Amino acid sequence: MVSKLKHTLTTKRIALATWFLLMTMGLAFALVGAQAAMAQKASTSAGKSRYVTLDGARIHYQNYGKGREALVLIHGWSCNLDYWREQVPDFAKRNRVIALDLPGHGLSDKPELAYSMDLFARAVDAVMRDAKVERGVLVGHSMGTPIARQFYRKYPKKTLAIVIVDGGLRPFGDKKMRDGFVAAFRAPNYKEAGMQMFAGMAGPQLPAETQERINTSFLNTPQHVLVSAMEGMNDDSIYGPDKMNVPVLAILAKSPFWPADTERFLRGIAPNLDFDMWEGVGHFLMMERPKQFNEEVVVFLNKNSLLN
């Protein structure tokens, strides 16, 4: 009787252990399947990452969609392509999108060299050639604006239009002030200077998480890149009076940094200009009001029959 009871208990234990093992395996397989699905979804939303080499250094970019024409997103000083995360989904529904990490930034190589606007323009061209994009609408935030203009100078037939995002087509302030900025980033405490600068550029609606992303990308950019790229922006030779004879949209944040004649000045450079100055936003306006920004860019594209 005791032997029979022990046999029964052993059988139940085996059955219970088998059930537990099967359940565990089932949950494991389900988890793996869910993780794979999430990874595929993340990969789709992130686009296809690629690298192209320019002057021996790799440039990282992401591609969304197909076509010989694309919206090309160019970030600013110490930034990276992730700054456009709120733009890509909306834009990619309409047309092909290319977002790149400029040389020295993001996942691109960071050699010690001169980070001029000309180098950055050549990097944009290298990415477009690798992606087989023949013509693009260049969207340039901050430093991305003089880069887009330099690209237009070098490759006018490849430029369909330009979107200026709180960036300038003339130097900010006099040479003494600009040299002071460069000197601050040559100093040992350049990180503190940068954090203070970006805190002052943040708008009232900029989420704390976004501000943290801005700070992190700045801290991850090597000092030699920060200094050289700022020197490149301060090069007076890139700010000539030559025209941009393509459609141009300028979206600026209202600020004391913009002279009173900013719109008139821009119209002198870009005869076919749509001009908008937003109140109550900071320098990273496309991150602060992404929906409004995306809608305004799409209206501009539709108005000029671009990337249809």
Which pLDDT value is given to residue 13?
A: 41
Is residue 204 within 8 A of residue 282, CB to CB? The reply is yes
Which pLDDT value is given to residue 21?
A: 33
Cα separation, 293 vs 278, in Å, equals: 10
Alpha helix ranges (H) inside 47-132: 88-94, 117-130
How far the first Cα of the chain sits from its last, in Å, is 85
Phi-psi region of 184 (alpha: psi -120 to 50; beta: other; left: phi over 0): alpha
Q: Is 295 helix (H, G, I), strand (E, B) or coil?
A: helix
**Nearest C-alpha neighbor of 59 from the set 120, 11, 143:** 120
Q: What are phi and psi of 64, to 5 degrees?
A: -130, 115
**Nearest C-alpha neighbor of 190 from the set 83, 77, 102, 112:** 77
Is residue 22 within 8 A of residue 58, CB to CB? The reply is no
196-232: b or e for each residue (b if 16 or more CB lie within 10 Å)?
eebeebbbeebeeebbebbbebbeebeeebbbbbbbb
Which pLDDT value is given to residue 237?
A: 93
Which pLDDT value is given to residue 199?
A: 94
Tokens describing residue 95: 């047309």
User: What's 158's DSSP letter?
Assistant: G
Q: Enumerate residues 6+ apart whose C-beta is below 8 A from 268.
A: 241
Which pLDDT value is given to residue 211?
A: 95
Q: Enumerate residues 6+ apart whose C-beta is below 8 A from 74.
A: 100, 102, 120, 124, 138, 139, 140, 141, 144, 147, 148
Number of C-beta neighbours around residue 173 at 10 A:
12
Q: What are phi and psi of 200, to 5 degrees?
A: -75, -20
Task: pLDDT tens for the chain, 308 residues: list them.
Answer: 434 333 443 333 433 333 333 333 333 333 333 333 333 334 335 589 999 999 999 999 999 999 999 999 999 999 999 999 999 999 999 999 999 999 999 999 999 999 999 999 999 999 999 999 999 999 999 999 999 999 999 999 999 999 999 999 998 878 888 888 899 999 999 999 999 999 999 999 999 999 999 999 999 999 999 999 999 999 999 999 999 999 999 999 999 989 999 999 999 999 999 999 999 999 999 999 999 999 999 999 999 999 98
Cα separation, 243 vs 292, in Å, equals: 28
Q: Enumerate residues 6+ apart whose C-beta is below 8 A from 269.
A: 169, 241, 242, 243, 244
Tokens describing residue 132: 């087989």
**What order of strands is seen across the sheet that includes strand 69-74?**
48-54, 57-64, 97-100, 69-74, 135-141, 159-165, 248-253, 273-278
Distances (CA, A) of 288 to 64, 233, 285: 23, 24, 5
Is residue 240 within 8 A of residue 269, CB to CB? The reply is no
Q: What SS3 string covers 10-56?
A: HHHHHHHHHHHHHHHHHHHHHHHHHHHHHHHHHHHHHCEEEEEEECC
